[in-house]
Structure 1
Amino acid sequence: MKNKPWLRYLLVTALKLAVVVSTALVFYLMYLDASLSRVFASERYQAPALVYASETSIYPGKRLTKQQLIRQLERLSYQRSTNTEETGYYSHAGSTLMVHRRPFEFADGPQMSRRVEIRFDGNTVQSIRDWSSSAALRELRLEPQLVGRINPLDNEDRLLIGLELVPNLLIETLLLVEDRNFYHHSGVSPWSVMRALVANIKAGRTVQGGSTLTQQLVKNLYLTREQTLWRKFHEAMMALVIDYRFDKNTILETYLNEVYFGQDGRHAIHGIGLASQYYFGRQVQELTASQVALLIAMVKGPSYYDPRRYPERAKSRRDTILRLMYENDLLAKSNYIAAVETPLVVRESRRLVEEGYPHYIDRIRRELGKIVLPPDWHEVGLKIYTAMDVELQSTAQKALAAGVPGKDMEGIQGAMVISDYRQGGIRALVGSTVPSALGFNRALMALRPIGSLIKPVIYASAMTVSDKMHLGSRVVDEPVSLEDEHGKPWQPENYDKEYLGEMLIYEALVKSRNIPAVRIGLRVGTKTLVNYLKAMGVTTPINSYPSLTLGAVELSPLAVNRIFATIANDGKYQPLRAITSITTHSGETVYKASDTKPEPVYSTAVSYMTRYGMAGVVSQGTASALQDVLDGATVAAKTGTTNDYKDSWFVSVDGDNVVTTWLGRDDNQPTGFTGSSGALQVTREVYRQAPPRPMSLRPVDGVTLQSFHRLKGVRIPADCQQAVSLPAPPLSLEDDINCNAEIEQKSWLERLFGG
């Protein structure tokens, strides 16, 4: 050593460098441990809010045809087959439908798969039986359809799943192909690196990677894809830290939720949970061996092995994976042969959500802003369950986009809202004649005069103010001179500028006469009308001017729908909502719409009489053009037209829903449409595609059908020529007079207000 000072110098220098490098490495690992562990523990990935439509509940006696149910099953990606042993398949013959319902995490908890036989009797479900036990079932719930995603942070989509839901076959195959020693290395596998190096040297190109699943996960989560030694070193160190700090199952679960599977437009599909739905329309726990093999094949390159663009390449890679599964005893020979012979079948659509519903999603976003959510919800993901009826929503969008048949719709816009008035759920909402673009959501934001839609509110309010008021009461359709809010003369007119003299309230409502509504509305009081409108959910300013009696109040289509939902719901008001409940991706309840007690605005008897009058609007009044699509079903309705034909309104009430349709121009120019020639025609097409359930007109407590003189508003015998049968509070027998109504009777206005 004395003769070789340079060697000693080299050794000392190397030792110093080793100390420096080791110290730097220790501090580097400490830094990674402090920063990476915290981030990995709480912010591994961002999960969106997945939006679901309402679930379908099927029960004996439900009005539903076999074809309607088949359409719904196909929207849920169920496939027709003669064999329904696997979930997600259906078959039918005659009046019988066999369905193997998928498992699903409903808002109120999970339900397992179930194979059932459903029998139909014409347009009605006759029976439902469990296939295995033949037991009669009271109800079958179909999983709701995914209709949208909300992710304010990025365009990565995933459905977070726990490791316990992933089939063992998928896990074992993934480890077999990507990282056989996953449970035995410390995040980095030197042997895998050497094996890959040898394979690549032999091939003269990169044919095999040496990265472990942990390294792949680190690269996907935190690093770029640049191929440099520093990045590979950084990746290896991070993998060591992750493996040291977290157990293998946590790392594997994170990988399964992070791995990339391709693009749905601008949305990246991440994770095995969402990928199984995107490619197969199935839950991850339903995947077959061939489907498992295809997804594992795509891990290597989702674009290169895209089964839609390169089916032969994808099938070849899938079959290679299947062979590995068989050779490593993951598949029996018979199952392997069956899987290899299975055609490559994936969903045809490249979109996870088949049809866009931007206006309904806009409503959901607005409701979310009023709900207290966990501040870190994007780390656990949300499932938002809604009241949307996909078939109604799609039908409404198409009908509004098509407009009025045979008419020029250039420059004319529109909106439609459909609600379930008993539950208070918004079943469909469209804010434009261009349903694919959000823009200005007219269903929520367009404030337009409602015209004659105010008349049912006037008559319902009057019948509430006085229990002597009913549809058989007499009113006068004659010119009237009044003062407006500025003290100036005001002479309202009827639409046809004619006057019909004496008539019943029923006829005035059916024929939408202006003067009777003005007379009664002013006697009731405009301030009283304002109070009733506010009690039915109107929050925008309302001027209590005399012109209010002709509908000079600007409301949105949603606000109009709320008003008529109150009348339809036996006079009880409840807010309309799109969101019914919210859970995390793992099923933990975050929010549930409260079952608030509806607030009474009108009595059951008053709301019934109002609906009865509105049913006359369809059977013999301004909405009679609707009859040809109703197939005899009873529906109540009201048309609305504003000055110079600027706004065309139509509201209808059937046995389940309130449908509100508006047509108009954004620049407030005339459309040329009345309520019946415009908005009614759009609603007519909705009813043509989705026939309504009939509304009941059976008299309620406090009301009986009685005979009235069609001009004078007094009771007369039922066999009189001038008799018309109408619901009214029970009247004493002494009010009965002869057929000519010779007894002098004061009008309802005279009896109530004097004069």
Structure 2
Amino acid sequence: MELRRSGYGVSRGNPMGHYLLRARAIEIFPGPDSYFDQEAAVIRFAGGRISGIVSLQDHTERSQYQLEPQLVTNLFDRNREKRRLVRYADIPAVLVQAITSAEDKRFFQHAGFDPFRVIKAAYVDVREGSHRQGASTISMQLARSLWLTNERTWRRKLPEVLITLQLEQKLSKQQIFEHYCNQIYLGRRGSFSIQGFGEAAQVYLGKDLRQLTVPEAAMLAGLVQNPGRYSPFRYPERMRDRRNVVLGLMRQNGYLTDRQYALAIESSLTLAKGAIESQHAPYFVDLVNDFLQSRFQDIDFQTNSHRVYTTLDIDLQRAASEGVRMGLERVDELLRKQRRHRRAALPDAQVALVAMDPRTGAIKALVGGRNYGLSQLNHAIAKRQPGSVFKPFVYAAAFETALEGGSRAITPSTTVIDEPTTFWYDQRAYEPGNFKNEYNGQVTLRRALAKSMNVATVKVAEMVGYDTVVDLARRAGMNYRINPTPTVALGAYEVTPIEIAGAYTIFANRGEAVKPHFVSMVRAQGGQVMFAHAPEKTAVLDPRVAYLMVNLMEEVTRSGTAAGIRARGFTAPAAGKTGTSHDGWFAGFTSELLCVVWVGFDDNRELLLEGAHSALPIWTEFMKRALEIRPYRNAKPFGAPEGIVSIEVDPLSGMPATPYCPSSRPEVFVAGSEPVGACGLHGGHAGATHVAGWDQPAGGPTTPEAPETVVARRRPLVIQPEPESAAAPVESPKEEKKKRGFFGRLVDVFK
């Protein structure tokens, strides 16, 4: 089945390649059109699994063997037609019988037009006073679809008959029938028209044409008369009645026995599950089609066959569709409660999901909406305010100051005052508020990001400079129209989910931005390469700063606003950030896969659901399924680059912990930027290199004076650099260590 889907056949003349079935083995012979330039091989099986791969060229063992990518869809010209070409030999007899019974029972006997049908149609039209009865044979329908209009007048019949006679003279009946089966219009799938029975079988039934049953063949044949009226997705009962009419005609023509007919009319419609929403990644296909039309404007893709190789992973796309479906069920339930509470009608929430390889930028799965059949608007490329998903870029810009060292370096243990604050810019006041108007006083930047504190984040942006933040965002590939104002810190500008995915690669890819792409190669029919994607990588962040951000975003998933992914059963090492504007966002990644999810309304009204309760559940459902797929299952801990140190700090002051601190935690720093001294909150000398003083309230210093107790400095723990592909765990923040007092130790004695 997989070989056939990839274009391989049993015939040696198949241009894609052919295969031979042996006892417990398959021999594969790639053809001239194969994407992979490799030798033939034999794949052996034992116990239902692959036991070995041997080259048929040099008879040596191979560790892996790549097949031609699966066909996702067929695209044609600017009319947005989709078809799946079939040969007459591939058309099952049951479909030939169904089509001829429904449309032209004497097709193989007449010379192109049927005089008996013409006379009958003329009589009915005269009697009814309108053009109600069709007289077109299959050959005439083909002539009309290729060269004429659908106008139903007798004036059009003469040129139709003349063209039909030409077809009958130049082509055999089998050739005419083959062209008819590839050309006939059979409905719409979103913004695409479905041309031919090969594509219709996939869209409506989710199967190859050669696998059709009698009722399924009758259903497809019944569509020809009026595809819109008999659409099985919209009008299943109407379609079933039409199918049964065709089955009755097949019985009249001797193709079915009475028993076969009785069984067939009682069968239910077996439609493809999720065909419109997911099976062929319609939003992804739209992107590919738009790319081809814009890049190759002078090429006629309908008359010239081309192969377009994309980055899509079919298995991951299925996981994305299922994750979106599961996650939206929860979102819909929450919105139903809102409707009851607000006593207002709300539309269905829309969704976008973009999954990509953070190392290459290859988009592996994409969902652009909840139902492509109802709306073809691709929300993955629609601009919306990202909200707090943007905050990591504020902190990354701030941490770049640590590369220079010195007392003004901003680090994860730097503290700011989280309190109601008015910011002035260009003589305008800006007063952001925290979620639920809750403020936390002095906080470290680690905690400020983990808990997504708005005021603290704007203060960080003010400290480092709004221009610096905007410059980093632009270098990461985001909207060049971002303005350097206080609102930028909270994502108050528009960006697309694909842009966010591309920008987040600077964190997941050790500081390098990778531009998202979805087309790998375009080849002409003769094999010439017309387009080959060239990776576009840009060094944006120092790898040490990128690691600090990954470490902080791991905290978001551990104890911050995204901790829900752990409660929902996702256990792999991951980092990410929630976002809430009018919409809900979550951007997160493992070492193998980066995914961005957006949830919101088309009319831009407020969703009134935080990203943690809208986008995050969808991300989690998808990523759990992704971990079951081979290329993405081995998510590794995030390794630290050279030049990172870790020391124990007090979680409140951010300073090196002392024996007097009730708890401590490891904190990571760019070497040379770690605070010097000791925590002064619980005893010991306060450090002189901490930058909490940047934001001291008017009443005096934030850190109280410490008693004169001499405390030796702790030596920083230097984390050795790991190879980029290493899977060794990294020193990362753990749960705070609670120190036990005298009574605690006394209790231990009696345990």
Same fold (TM over 0.5): yes
SS at match of 2:374: coil
1:372-391 matches, within 5 Å, as 372-391=296-315
* Pairing 1:529–2:469 present: yes
Separation in structure 1 between the aligned mates of residue 50 and residue 660 of structure 2, nearest angstrom: 43
1:299-448 matches, within 5 Å, as 355-402=279-326, 403-405=328-330, 406-408=333-335, 410-411=346-347, 412-445=349-382, 447-448=383-384
Q: CA deviation at 1:457?
A: 0.5
Aligned-CA RMSD value: 5.8
Separation in structure 2 between the aligned mates of residue 224 and residue 514 of structure 1, nearest angstrom: 61
Q: CA deviation at 1:730?
A: 2.3
Separation in structure 2 between the aligned mates of residue 579 and residue 724 of structure 1, nearest angstrom: 45
Name 1:449's counterpart in structure 2: 385
| From 672, 685, 688, the counterpart of 1:742 | 685
The one-letter code of the counterpart of 1:390 is I
Separation in structure 2 between the aligned mates of residue 581 and residue 560 of structure 1, nearest angstrom: 24
The one-letter code of the counterpart of 2:469 is L
Q: CA deviation at 1:413?
A: 2.5
2:388·2:490 contact (CA, 8 Å) conserved in 1? yes
Q: CA deviation at 1:520?
A: 1.3
Identify if the C-alpha distance between structure 1 residues 108 and 459 changes in structure 2 by more than 3 Å, giving closer, same or farther.
same
Identify if the C-alpha distance between structure 1 residues 422 and 727 changes in structure 2 by more than 3 Å, giving closer, same or farther.
same
Identify if the C-alpha distance between structure 1 residues 219 and 351 changes in structure 2 by more than 3 Å, giving closer, same or farther.
farther
Name 1:116's counterpart in structure 2: 43
* Pairing 1:500–2:440 present: yes
Name 1:577's counterpart in structure 2: 517
Pick 1 or 2: higher relative contact order, CA cutoff 8 A, min separation 6.
1
The one-letter code of the counterpart of 2:592 is D
Separation in structure 1 between the aligned mates of residue 514 and residue 477 of structure 2, nearest angstrom: 8
Separation in structure 2 between the aligned mates of residue 569 and residue 383 of structure 1, nearest angstrom: 31
The one-letter code of the counterpart of 1:260 is C
Name 1:651's counterpart in structure 2: 587
Separation in structure 2 between the aligned mates of residue 614 and residue 529 of structure 1, nearest angstrom: 18
Separation in structure 1 between the aligned mates of residue 416 and residue 569 of structure 2, nearest angstrom: 33
Name 1:669's counterpart in structure 2: 605
Q: CA deviation at 1:216?
A: 13
| From 710, 720, 736, the counterpart of 2:651 | 710
Name 1:260's counterpart in structure 2: 181
1:689-742 CA distance string (max 9 Å, x none): 333642422211221333223233334579975432122222499936589452
The percentage of aligned residue pairs carrying the same residue is 21
1:400·1:682 contact (CA, 8 Å) conserved in 2? yes
1:162-177 matches, within 5 Å, as none
2:676·2:690 contact (CA, 8 Å) conserved in 1? no
Q: What TM-score do the two structures reach when normalised by structure 2?
A: 0.63
Identify if the C-alpha distance between structure 1 residues 233 and 488 changes in structure 2 by more than 3 Å, giving closer, same or farther.
closer
Name 2:124's counterpart in structure 1: none
Identify if the C-alpha distance between structure 1 residues 457 and 260 changes in structure 2 by more than 3 Å, giving closer, same or farther.
same
Separation in structure 1 between the aligned mates of residue 274 and residue 652 of structure 2, nearest angstrom: 62
Separation in structure 2 between the aligned mates of residue 619 and residue 118 of structure 1, nearest angstrom: 43
Structure label with greater radius of gyration: 1
**699-708 or 111-120, which deviates more:** 111-120
Identify if the C-alpha distance between structure 1 residues 136 and 541 changes in structure 2 by more than 3 Å, giving closer, same or farther.
same
2:511·2:541 contact (CA, 8 Å) conserved in 1? yes
The one-letter code of the counterpart of 1:729 is V
The one-letter code of the counterpart of 1:705 is S
Separation in structure 1 between the aligned mates of residue 686 and residue 60 of structure 2, nearest angstrom: 67
1:718·1:725 contact (CA, 8 Å) conserved in 2? no
* Pairing 1:556–2:496 present: yes
**516-525 or 272-281, which deviates more:** 272-281
1:638·1:651 contact (CA, 8 Å) conserved in 2? yes
2:676·2:687 contact (CA, 8 Å) conserved in 1? no
Separation in structure 2 between the aligned mates of residue 602 and residue 555 of structure 1, nearest angstrom: 20
SS at match of 2:516: coil
2:675·2:690 contact (CA, 8 Å) conserved in 1? no
Q: CA deviation at 1:627?
A: 0.8
* Pairing 1:696–2:620 present: no
Identify if the C-alpha distance between structure 1 residues 572 and 231 changes in structure 2 by more than 3 Å, giving closer, same or farther.
closer
Separation in structure 2 between the aligned mates of residue 505 and residue 721 of structure 1, nearest angstrom: 20
* Pairing 1:606–2:545 present: yes
The one-letter code of the counterpart of 1:477 is I
Name 2:133's counterpart in structure 1: none
SS at match of 2:432: coil
Q: What TM-score do the two structures reach when normalised by structure 1?
A: 0.63
* Pairing 1:639–2:566 present: no
Identify if the C-alpha distance between structure 1 residues 730 and 382 changes in structure 2 by more than 3 Å, giving closer, same or farther.
same
Separation in structure 2 between the aligned mates of residue 309 and residue 90 of structure 1, nearest angstrom: 41
In structure 1, stretches of 5+ residues that fail to align are 1-69, 80-85, 92-96, 174-194, 206-213, 244-250, 292-299, 319-346
1:22-421 matches, within 5 Å, as 87=19, 108-109=35-36, 115-117=42-44, 128-130=52-54, 135-152=60-77, 258=179, 260=181, 265=187, 355-402=279-326, 403-405=328-330, 406-408=333-335, 410-411=346-347, 412-421=349-358
| From 531, 553, 575, the counterpart of 1:591 | 531
1:525-566 CA distance string (max 9 Å, x none): 111111111112123522221122222222222222222123
Q: CA deviation at 1:433?
A: 2.5
Separation in structure 2 between the aligned mates of residue 101 and residue 352 of structure 1, nearest angstrom: 30
User: How many residues end up aligned between the 2 structures?
Assistant: 595
